[in-house]
Amino acid sequence: MNTGLRGSLPLNALSRMNPTVRGLSVLYSSTLLSGLGWAMILPAIPVLASEFDVSLGFAAQTVTAFALGRFGGTPVAGIVVDRFGSRAGMIGGPALVGLAALGAVATPWFSILLVMQFVIGFGDVVWTMAREVAGIDLVRTNQRGRVLSGFHGMHTGGLAVGPLLGGVLTVAFSFRAVFVAFAVLAVAGMLLGAVAHRAKPSAGDVRAQASQTLSRFSLSIAARLRAIADLFKQIEPRFRPSYWAFVFATFAGFMFRLTVQNMLPLYADWKLGLSPVEVGVLFSISGGVVFAMILPAGFVIDKIGRKWATVPSTLLPGVAFMLIPFADTFLQLAVLVSILGVSNGLSLGSLATSTYDVVPAEARGRLQAARRTIAEVGGVGGPLFGGFLANAMNPGVPFLAYAPILIAAGLLLAFVARETLIKNPVPEASGVSST
């Protein structure tokens, strides 16, 4: 028996640690690619208006189409994860994204570009949920906050670099070069998905689950509503108001993020005359702040309390939205997008973690999908109504219109939602897979 220093580390401990480290590395890399690809499109939005001879408000509907795709894909993503496991989503999601990006390269019509954006959104949400559940399966309950904060931080790391790269590609070549680069990143995401941690379906034999999934398409609307209600009843009664507070806060969060993505380029172009590269720098500033918050946000979520992250993540954007229409210099906008970066750093990881705390393991994919499907209404409605307001008045008005919704969400999280962090938990059968 080897009693040396190396022998003091049990082999079985190494076998447990290495797959986790390896699995999270793959998932984080895939998350970075996803954020990088989508973010490259944002500085090109004002260019699309001139290239396709459409209004600025209509050009901004590229973000609406993306959000609609996410809205339509979220229930499918939940079913895929619960029925077939996460790897299917980590391969199929980026495959759809890559094909749609190539379609956007070739199209001469803006209407087809919008369709491709819809497909990109659909594939992106499948890809996102698959990564998230695979990560949850790899760690213990008291590590969820750091893992999900890491996902969010890596995604926003992509958002930090993507706009600058997209702005450079747009100026040096054309907006089509951005979609070519996006397709390349999606292919890399597929390859990572093929070697990712194989998270198991939540329950049941895959063939049986596939049969059940297909049978869902024949259900009546009433039966589907009953199924959703039954799913919600699986949450403990004391946590149901919290779940709905998380739903509304996610709705507000999706609305504010996608509004920033489509309205900030238009506002910067309309008010300050900034170039695509300068707009890319603004997004990179915000993304850099989020990336810097990966570790502190995870510490707050897991050690101090979920609400210490969720509440400021919705109240701060409300304040920033009230100030953005009055910003008339690059520096002022940079300060405000930095505040939005702080909010982003605290938001998705904390809300997702809080939701995983209150939903049962056997329905986590579908209940997360239900939360996000409702929230995607904000992602769709924010850019859509924002484009209308921008055309009717100016691109600063949507920020003022949406600020009260964000403040209301923060108040709900502060006074209705429960604190779901259990400090120093005893060993428990939480239902979270350790595979």
Per domain, the residue ranges of the chain are 19-199+230-415
237 has a pLDDT exceeding 90: no
Q: How many residues does the chain have?
A: 435
Decide: 401 and 309 in contact? Cβ < 8 Å: no
The whole-angstrom separation of Cα 198 and Cα 378 is: 32
Q: With bands split at pLDDT 50, 70 and 90, how would you rate the model's confidence at 53? A: confident
What angle (nearest 5°) sits at the alpha carbon of residue 260, between those of residues 41 and 368? 90
The predicted pLDDT at position 320 comes to: 92
Number of C-beta neighbours around residue 410 at 10 A: 22
Tell me the residue type at 147: V
338-348 average pLDDT score = 81
Decide: 73 and 118 in contact? Cβ < 8 Å: no
The predicted pLDDT at position 28 comes to: 76
Using one digit for the tens of pLDDT, what is the confidence trace for 384-422? 788 788 878 888 898 999 999 999 999 999 999 988 887
CB half-sphere exposure, 23, CA atoms < 13 A: 24
What is the per-residue burial (b if ≥16 Cβ within 10 Å, else e) of 344-374?
bbbbbbbbbbbbbbbbebebbbbbbbbbbbb
Using one digit for the tens of pLDDT, what is the confidence trace for 172-206? 888 888 889 988 988 888 888 777 655 555 444 44
No. of helices (H) and no. of strands (E), the chain: 17, 0
The whole-angstrom separation of Cα 254 and Cα 249 is: 9
Q: With bands split at pLDDT 50, 70 and 90, how would you rate the model's confidence at 429? A: very low
Superfamily classification of domain 19-199+230-415: MFS general substrate transporter like domains (1.20.1250.20)
Q: Is 381 helix (H, G, I), strand (E, B) or coil?
A: helix
What is the per-residue burial (b if ≥16 Cβ within 10 Å, else e) of 121-145?
bbbbbbbbbbbbbbbbbbbebebbb
10 has a pLDDT exceeding 60: no
The whole-angstrom separation of Cα 123 and Cα 117 is: 10
For 200: left if phi > 0, alpha if psi spans -120 to 50, otherwise beta; the answer is beta
Phi, psi of 2 (to 5 degrees): -80, 115
Percent of the chain having pLDDT more than 70? 79
Burial of 422 (0-12, 13-18, 19+ CB in 10 A): exposed
The whole-angstrom separation of Cα 351 and Cα 17 is: 27
| Weakest-pLDDT range from 118-127, 260-269, 419-428 | 419-428
